[in-house]
């Protein structure tokens, strides 16, 4: 036995020596490749489909210039999200997978993992991203004299002496903005739509001044343009230092006339839906925005913030920055929805939804559910009814979660109402409910690191308590009870609207504490989805069809 043990020890030492002789660089690279390949697998590469057959030769030349303008906006966003792109790629070196992942994330921080560094070669993401010096803190910020530092379209930069200076975007990104403006103006010459040409020329002027009110007003009145172009400030959620600075992005879009016509009637129903909120009349005194239309697009090209990490399927425009936007347009991207439905939602459905109910998960119901999320965002309550001021001020740090929860649940309440009115004829109500349930698993995979993630879990746990669905531990699938789902949607809508109207900070905190978490049963299902290598989002193979000049 002793001789056997010595033999085993000698074998172990031999293996250890072989391992030690191997190149450590090669071993680290293999590990990194494996990790990066798994991360890349979270994004399904898709080529966005859109019918370009009706576009004229002038449209083709217009698109070519807009593509180059969007790429200039992309350069601005790299500065805002990280810094110099080429410096980052050179530092990464010869690892093609890591470079590809850095391009998706616009930096070395993983947007699917709470912006944690996806390689040890880089530090944690600065709170102020590229809007501020990386070593700057809030005390440094508030010590800067004057109020210009609070303006949302400015950055803070150190001068040659190390002093902090406030610089407007149009100066900080002068070269890129001039390039974008030049191509927008050149592209405008090929417009066959006078109103769109006027908008593009005004947008070019506005990019040079950081004041977008004139072009926003023109854009909201556009009706006949086949091509659409949005470039400038999109969102202010990437500044984690003072939560003010806006990220730049660009969309090149094609109007989908057929699907826009189908949803146009929903805009006319906004006053009716507001009056039929499931709460007492005292909570329903506010009126929805009158000029709030819905436009369905197919995305042709995204850049900057619009192309980073998790891809947008809809949003309200124009953004507000420091001013109040009286009118808005709800824009939705049909071909992006289709890509996410096919690549993500359908595979998830086949894994976690009861086999007999899988037929109810349909693209049309997914589309309707998504459209009504943005509709719900413009309905409800913005001011408390008991002199506590705005809902935002009353709920403080809980406001964003409660708002997301309201949008999530109220959309299903409205869809239920429209089914009762026989306004939604292409799908059954159970289609909307089961699709909504499947979509919970798609969205909750992004975790509970933001307001939407926490809101997803509150909704999920509330529906579970109300027996709106039941879990079969043997098959690992969920079955929806449409009757109880309807009741749960209505009761949760009442609860959330009352919290908002009453400005009930304590009840909001209690709801978040009680239900805003992922329990073990659901966690196991999320692990199953991950092990099945179902992507979390999509990345675009884009641009080739536009670079035709």
Domain boundaries, the chain: 338-540
Write the DSSP symbol of residue 123.
Answer: P
> Is 80 exceeded by the pLDDT of residue 22?
no
**pLDDT at position 197:** 97
Binned at pLDDT 50, 70 and 90, residue 24 comes out as very low
What pLDDT is recorded for position 25?
43
Closest by Cα among 447, 449, 470 to 518: 447
Report residue 289's pLDDT band, with 50, 70 and 90 as the boundaries: low
The owner of tokens 């953004």 is: 319
Q: What average pLDDT does the segment 358-387 reach?
A: 90
Instruction: Map tokens 């939407």 to a residue.
Output: 452
E strands present in 71-193? 109-110, 116-117, 154-158, 164-168
SS3 string, 224-269, reads CCCEEEEEEEEECCCCCCCCCCCEEEEEEEEECHHHHHHHHHHHHC
Residues 6+ apart with CB under 8 A from 94: none
Q: Which residues contact 539 (CB under 8 A, 6 or more apart)?
A: 43, 44, 45, 46, 104, 311
The per-residue pLDDT for 495 is 96
Q: What are the angstrom distances between the C-alpha of 417 and each of 377, 410, 411, 412?
A: 17, 11, 10, 9
Among the ranges 307-321, 444-458, 520-534, which has the highest mean pLDDT value? 520-534
DSSP summary character for residue 307: G
Nearest CA-CA partner of 489 in 543, 414, 545, 430: 414
The model's pLDDT over 211-246, given as tens digits with 9 standing for 90+, comes to: 999 999 999 999 889 999 999 999 998 999 998 999
How far are the Cα atoms of 285, 333, 388, 398, 499 from residue 383, in angstroms, in the given order?
Answer: 10, 31, 8, 15, 11
Write b or e for each residue in 127-136: b if 16 or more Cβ atoms lie within 10 A of its Cβ, otherwise e. Answer: bbbbbbbeeb
| R_g of the chain, CA atoms, integer Å | 25
What is the rounded distance in angstroms from the CA atom of residue 509 to the CA atom of residue 398?
A: 7
Give pLDDT, residue 2: 37
Kindly tell me if the per-residue pLDDT of 325 is higher than 50: no
- Per-residue pLDDT band at 445 (split at 50, 70, 90): confident
* pLDDT tens-place string over residues 68-90: 999 999 999 999 999 999 999 99
> What's the token pair of residue 479?
């079955």
Share of the chain above pLDDT 70, in %: 90
Asked if the model's pLDDT at residue 546 lies above 80, the reply is: no
Q: Which of 345, 352, 373, 350 is nearest to 469 (CA)?
A: 352
Residue 267's pLDDT is: 76
Task: Say how many C-beta atoms besides its own lie within 10 A of residue 415's C-beta.
Answer: 25
Q: How far apart are CA 463 and CA 492, in angstroms?
A: 9
pLDDT in tens, 340-364: 999 999 999 999 999 999 999 999 9
Q: What is the dihedral of CA 76, 68, 209, 126, to 10 degrees?
A: -10
Q: Which of 44-58, 127-141, 160-174, 292-306 has the lowest mean pLDDT?
A: 44-58
Nearest to 207 by CA among 238, 229, 224: 229
Query: 455-482, pLDDT tens digit by residue?
Result: 999 999 999 999 999 999 999 999 999 9
């Amino acid at each position: 036995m002793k001789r056997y043990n010595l033999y085993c020890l000698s074998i172990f030492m031999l293996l250890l020596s072989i391992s030690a002789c191997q190149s450590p660089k090669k071993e680290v690279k293999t590990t990194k490749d494996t990790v990066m390949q798994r991360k890349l697998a979270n994004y399904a590469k898709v080529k966005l489909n859109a019918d370009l057959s009706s576009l004229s030769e002038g449209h083709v030349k217009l698109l070519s210039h807009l593509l180059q303008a969007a790429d200039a906006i992309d350069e601005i966003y790299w500065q805002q999200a990280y810094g110099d792109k080429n410096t980052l790629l050179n530092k990464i070196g010869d690892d093609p997978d890591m470079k590809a992942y850095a391009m998706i994330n616009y930096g070395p921080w993983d947007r699917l993992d709470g912006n944690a560094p996806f390689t040890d070669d880089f530090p944690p993401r600065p709170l102020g991203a590229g809007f501020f010096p990386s070593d700057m803190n809030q005390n440094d910020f508030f010590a800067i004299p004057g109020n210009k530092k609070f303006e949302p379209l400015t950055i803070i930069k150190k001068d040659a002496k190390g002093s902090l200076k406030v610089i407007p975007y149009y100066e900080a990104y002068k070269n890129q903005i001039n390039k974008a403006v030049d191509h927008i103006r050149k592209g405008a010459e090929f417009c066959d739509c006078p109103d769109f040409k006027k908008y593009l020329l005004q947008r070019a002027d506005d990019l040079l001044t950081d004041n977008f009110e004139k072009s926003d007003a023109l854009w909201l009145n556009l009706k006949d343009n086949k091509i659409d172009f949005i470039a400038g400030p999109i969102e202010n959620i990437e500044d984690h230092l003072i939560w003010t600075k806006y990220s730049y992005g660009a969309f090149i879009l094609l109007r989908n006339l057929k699907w826009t016509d189908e949803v146009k009637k929903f805009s006319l129903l906004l006053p009716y839906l507001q009056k039929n909120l499931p709460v007492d009349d005292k909570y329903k005194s506010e009126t929805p925005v009158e000029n709030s239309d819905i436009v369905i697009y197919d995305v042709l090209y995204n850049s900057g913030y619009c192309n980073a990490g998790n891809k947008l399927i809809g949003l309200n425009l124009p953004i507000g920055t420091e001013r109040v936007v009286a009118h808005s347009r709800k824009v939705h991207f049909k071909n992006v929805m289709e890509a996410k439905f096919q690549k993500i939602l359908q595979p998830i459905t086949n894994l976690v939804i009861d086999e007999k109910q899988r037929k109810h998960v349909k693209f049309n119901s997914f589309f309707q559910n998504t459209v009504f999320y943005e509709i719900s965002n413009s309905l409800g309550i913005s001011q408390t009814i008991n002199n506590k001021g705005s809902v935002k001020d009353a709920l403080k740090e809980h406001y964003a979660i409660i708002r997301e929860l309201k949008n999530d649940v109220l959309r299903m309440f409205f869809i239920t109402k429209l089914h009762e009115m026989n306004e939604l004829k292409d799908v059954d109500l159970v289609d909307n409910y089961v699709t909504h349930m499947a979509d919970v698993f798609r969205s909750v995979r992004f975790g509970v690191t933001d307001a939407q993630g926490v809101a997803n879990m509150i909704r999920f746990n509330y529906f579970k308590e109300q027996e709106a669905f039941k879990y079969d531990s043997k098959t690992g699938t969920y079955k929806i009870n449409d009757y109880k789902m309807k009741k749960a949607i209505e009761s949760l809508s009442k609860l959330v609207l009352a919290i908002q109207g009453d400005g009930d900070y304590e009840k909001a905190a209690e709801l978040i504490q009680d239900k805003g978490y992922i329990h073990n049963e659901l966690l196991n299902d999320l692990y199953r989805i991950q092990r099945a290598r179902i992507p979390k989002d999509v990345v675009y193979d884009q641009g080739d069809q536009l670079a035709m000049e």
